[in-house]
Amino acid sequence: MFAYLPRATRGLILANVVAYVLQLLTHDAFTGLLALQPLGPDFHLWQVVTYAFLHASVAHIFFNMFALFMFGPELERYWGSARFLVLYFASVLAAAAAQLATNYLSGTGATTIGASGGIFGLLLAFGFYFPRQRLMLLFPPIPMPAWLFVTLYGLLELLLGVTRTEAGVAHFAHLGGMAGAALVILYWRSRDRALRPPW
């Protein structure tokens, strides 16, 4: 099944798994250097990308990679690998920016890891391009169209972020990932319209 995934989706899953195995084997020796640190002496520019390949636990990487497995292939087949990677990493970068701003404004020194920013970008894109496709919630098991699932999930993340619920979860980074994807989609749509012949 893994071999039949489109190459970019497969590559991202493999890179995340390899990075997590290296974290375990080295007892997180390099995690602090590659994780997204708050602005300050420990922050390095590469961290706005590398943080997205690190994870805190088996459950953390499992749910992120499961979501990538569920939503990535259909989007990659729709766009092609190049556009898929552009949107994914734009979401990762936007999530990093949102988290850095959140840390700065709140005065916290939270370290951030995980692919969730990219995943939330893909989730928003899936809801936009396949709005009527039915998705099944796990808890409770209720089917709903993708557009509704994405809207409710985004509102939930906003509520949890504003109320500071679930300490240790970067809710505003998740929303940043969605915002990054939205900006890329809007740019693509405006550019595609501009390139369309007038007749």
**What pLDDT is stored for residue 97 in this prediction?**
97
Token pair 């497969």: residue: 10
45 contact partners, CB below 8 Å, separation of at least 6: none
**CA dist., res. 95 & res. 10, Å (int):** 22
For residue 140, say if its preceding peptide bond is cis, omega within 30 degrees of 0. Answer: yes
Residue 72's Cβ-side half-sphere holds a number of Cα atoms within 13 Å equal to: 26
Give the pLDDT band of residue 1 (cuts 50, 70, 90).
Answer: low
All structural domains of the chain: 2-195 (1.20.1540.10)
Query: Which tops the pLDDT comparison, 140 or 106?
Result: 106
List for the chain the helix, strand, coil content (%; round to 5): 70, 5, 25
Both structure tokens of 190: 């405006």
Q: pLDDT tens, 9-67?
A: 999 999 999 999 999 999 999 999 999 999 999 999 999 999 999 999 999 999 999 99
Which residue from 62, 106, 82, 60 is spatially nearest to 8, judged by alpha carbons? Answer: 82
Q: pLDDT tens, 56-76?
A: 999 999 999 999 999 999 999
Q: pLDDT tens, 115-166?
A: 999 999 999 999 999 999 988 766 667 888 999 989 988 998 888 888 877 7
